[in-house]
A and B are shown apart, each in its own frame.
Chain A
Amino acid sequence: MSETVISVKNVKKCFRVYLDKSTMLKDKILFWKRNRYENRMVLDGISFDIKKGESIGLIGRNGCGKSTTLKLLTRIMYPDSGTVSVKGRVSALIELGAGFHPDMSGRENIYINASIFGLSKKEIDKRISQIIQFSELEQYIDNPVRTYSSGMYMRLAFSVAINVDADVLFVDEILAVGDLAFQKKCYDKLKEIKDRGTTIVIVSHSLDMIEKLCDRTIWIKDGKIESSGLPKDVHSLYLHYLGQEKNENIRYI
């Protein structure tokens, strides 16, 4: 329980915000002045450690850097300075259904999608019935994915991602999948994964869900960690802060 699996040390990340962005060669040469950009600090020195089996909720207002943090953790982006290290196999419920081919069957797409998570053929073979069962798409699994409704599509994608058996699972605000019954099932599955000892990081605006699933909440504000601790405590601070902002806005009006 005490082994650190995720370690983030003094991470900074700037985005280049182009004033008038162009990737065309002509524009790059002719209008080189337009290629000026300003650096916008998105993360300004964030550090935290997560131990094995812990589940963490990341909260904060839009644009505060939550999703950027998650992208750095999944190695989709790299920090400008500082270090990020994550141990073990990672799965992310971030973009579902990436790499699906509409003309291929659900079953074939499970193989494609699972391979993107780094599973070998053997591992997929072992999980395939479990994935199909979870998606509740047994009848349609050999039809091309383009014939699926959007709900069915998401269910299939979610079932693949959640059955990867990762050591670390990242979840970005996607539990609004399918109908209520399926949502409940997803929630239960997350709970089960957590109880199995998987480390989970959730980005969400649903404080309710974080309170139910997580051991700790990290509140990010303007690229810095504002507060971190038991979900209950952090959430009441956060709600208080949101309330204050609202009042200020009202005063302006």
Chain B
Amino acid sequence: MFKSVKEVINYREMIKMMVHRDLRGRYKASVLGFAWTFVNPFLQLLVYTLVFSVILRSNIEKYYIFLFVALIPWLGMSGSVISSSTCIIHQPALITKIYFPRRVLPLAAVTTNIINMLLCMIVVLIVCFFGIGLEFRYLWYLIPAVLVEYILALGIGLIVSGLTVYVRDLEHIISIFVMLWQFMTPIMYPVDMIPERFRTVFMLNPMAPVVSTFRDILYYRRAPELSTMMSALVMGVVFLLVGWTLFGKLEKRFAEEL
């Protein structure tokens, strides 16, 4: 395990270049270019706000901010999972012809999405500042919150990217699963709407505490509960350890399966 970690660190330049390539290359041929990074979440925000504050009226104050502060962290996670599910199978030329630590690919896919999320976070902060104001005392909590989400995304990304090579259907199953997951996470609704007796099970979804933390800091403007953050961290670390080891087993036959 230490050996594989060290090797990935030696290849950090490759991770950097892959992220750079994805961020710069993705929208290069499109008219709006890099602006798509912001347009996409903005349009989603518009759709959900329309549905939940005009049609299905929920009596939440400043609903668009309530939603926005949770939607952006969620999109960071869902984007990470979806792009890691294809990051190996879409690069057969690299996998079958060149050696490099395979973990670089999911790591780069997840990092790209988290960086995208951070860029959108700037917009979130601006919107919050003008919408409801910011509680600067608690803003530093955002750093551990992002880190916890990054760890969790890496773990899930490693698992998903490796398994998809062997079961190609996962690519499609995952997009459905991510939709279900989104509804199981308190993004469009507050946690209190979940009946008390299901609350424990509900919080076993690792994204539930993550999203709640972001919402505590930015929407409720209070310090997030330490126990919530800890449970998210523990689940994240477990996913990362399982993902890292499982990937090590799966990668041996990548070149033959592709």
Most buried by A among B13, B25, B252: B13
Residues of B within 8 A of A116 (CB): 14, 17, 94, 98, 100
Interface residues of B in 3-29 (CB under 8 A from A): 10-11, 13-14, 16-18, 20-21, 24-25, 28-29
**How many B residues have CB within 8 A of the partner chain?**
31
Which chain B positions have C-beta within 8 A of A101? Answer: 21, 25
Q: From the candidates B11, B96, B256, B257, name the one contacting A118 in the complex (CB within 8 A).
A: B11
Q: CB of A15 within 8 A of chain B?
A: yes
Residue A95 is within 8 A (CB to CB) of chain B in the complex: yes
Chain A interface residue count, CB cutoff 8 Å, equals 32
Q: Are B25 and A103 in contact (CB under 8 A)?
A: yes
Q: Does B1 contact A (CB under 8 A)?
A: no
Among residues of B, the one whose C-beta sits closest to the C-beta of A71 is B255
Give the residue of B13, B97, B173 whose beta carbon is less than 8 angstroms from that of A76: B97
Query: Are B255 and A118 interface neighbours, CB within 8 A?
Result: no
Q: A120–B166 contact, CB under 8 A?
A: no
What DSSP secondary structure best describes chain A's contact surface?
Answer: loop
Enumerate chain A residues within 8 angstroms of B100, measured Cβ to Cβ: 116-118
Let me know if B222 is at the binding interface, CB within 8 A: no
Chain B, Cβ-Cβ closest to A27: B169
Q: Is the CB of A99 within 8 A of B94?
A: yes
Q: Does residue B168 face the partner (Cβ distance < 8 Å to A)? A: yes
Tell me which residues across on chain B come within 8 A of A176, comparing CB atoms. Answer: none
- A76 and B17 in contact, given A23-B166, A104-B25 (Cβ under 8 angstroms): no
Q: Taking beta carbons and an 8 Å cutoff, which residues of B are in contact with A?
A: 10-11, 13-14, 16-18, 20-21, 24-25, 28-29, 93-100, 166-169, 173, 252-253, 255-257
The chain A residues found within 8 Å of chain B, CB to CB, are: 15-16, 23-26, 28, 71, 74-78, 90, 92, 94-95, 98-99, 101, 103-104, 111-112, 115-121, 124
